[in-house]
């Protein structure tokens, strides 16, 4: 028996459009999952590192709860002569720990916002996102006497909407290129190895000073010593941003992409 296949031109066109869109979507997901830079200055972006030939690195610390770990970490920085670092502070925590906030400020360290509620902002409405960022801004400005310009979003979570709103409120969203994973308490040696082995010029290192981290204050002196031996200078995130071009990730709107794929089925 002979079989005959009839090909419709519109169906062929639709098939290849859907295939191309699917391949593009997979590529975007791959790029974003590996933090490969697809940064564009014309789009809202999060900053992961800075492209520079100078051996400068920014140690950053997030604080959202507790009072036991921040002071030992501040002491470790002081004892080891680190005069520049950046702390991202949760506004509710700051209100209940004014002495620690003041100690950070008096030590000369940079203070950025870590938002208000420790929620994933990508799950919030536009109005809620704006309220979270603005409320934190008001509190931190009142407590420090300076308006924060940098924000690290809770859990490092964001989407294109969040970045756009943060930018409209004059904030630069700061992520990280090296994660110490100190929040997992993986051991002093492993924390040190992760930071030292991954460090590079213009790097932004993620650490924490909340009570969940129990080994950071012990790892810091070793990290500082080994990075100095490699010729690194410790600076603030703002210092880094003034050095060269930023390495970020342009956030694609996956919802719009999915709609395009679905619409293709109706061609």
DSSP 148-174: --EE--GGG---HHHHHHHHHTT-EEE
pLDDT value of residue 69: 95
pLDDT in tens, 84-112: 999 999 999 999 999 999 999 999 999 99
pLDDT value of residue 50: 95
From 29-43, 106-120, 148-162, 243-257, the region with the lowest mean pLDDT: 29-43
Containing 120, the helix (H) or strand (E) segment is none
User: Which residues contact residue 186 at a Cβ distance below 8 angstroms, ignoring those fewer than 6 apart?
Assistant: 194, 215
pLDDT in tens, 7-21: 445 544 555 544 554
pLDDT value of residue 201: 96
* Structure tokens, 220: 């810091």
Domain ranges for the chain, please list them.
9-36+255-264, 45-250
Query: What homologous superfamily does CATH list for 45-250?
Result: Glycoside hydrolase/deacetylase (3.20.20.370)
From 74-88, 135-149, 176-190, 233-247, the region with the lowest mean pLDDT: 233-247
pLDDT value of residue 33: 38
Average pLDDT for the chain: 84
% of the chain surpassing 70 pLDDT: 75
What is the value of pTM for the model shown? 0.79
């Amino acid at each position: 028996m002979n079989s005959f296949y009839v090909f419709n031109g519109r169906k062929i066109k639709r098939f290849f459009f859907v295939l191309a869109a699917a391949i593009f979507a997979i590529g975007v997901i791959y790029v974003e999952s590996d933090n490969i830079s697809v940064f564009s200055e014309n789009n809202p972006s999060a900053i992961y590192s800075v492209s520079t030939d100078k051996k400068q690195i920014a140690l950053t610390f997030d604080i959202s709860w507790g009072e036991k770990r921040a002071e030992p970490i501040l002491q470790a920085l002081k004892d080891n002569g680190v005069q520049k670092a950046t702390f991202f502070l949760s506004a509710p925590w700051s209100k209940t720990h004014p002495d620690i906030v003041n100690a950070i400020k008096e030590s000369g360290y940079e203070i950025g916002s870590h938002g208000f509620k420790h929620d994933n902002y990508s799950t919030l409405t536009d109005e809620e996102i704006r309220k979270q960022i603005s409320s934190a801004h008001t509190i931190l400005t009142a407590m420090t006497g300076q308006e924060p310009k940098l924000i690290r979003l809770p859990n490092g979570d964001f989407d294109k909407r969040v970045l756009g709103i943060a930018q409209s409120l004059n904030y630069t969203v700061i992520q990280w290129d090296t994660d110490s994973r100190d929040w997992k308490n993986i051991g002093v040696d492993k924390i040190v190895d992760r930071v030292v082995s991954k460090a590079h010029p213009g790097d932004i290192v993620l650490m924490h000073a909340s009570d969940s981290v129990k080994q950071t204050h012990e790892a810091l002196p070793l990290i500082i010593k080994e990075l100095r031996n490699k010729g690194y200078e410790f600076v603030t995130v703002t210092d880094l941003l003034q050095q060269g071009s930023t390495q970020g990730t342009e956030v694609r709107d996956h919802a719009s992409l999915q709609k395009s794929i679905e619409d293709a089925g109706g061609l």
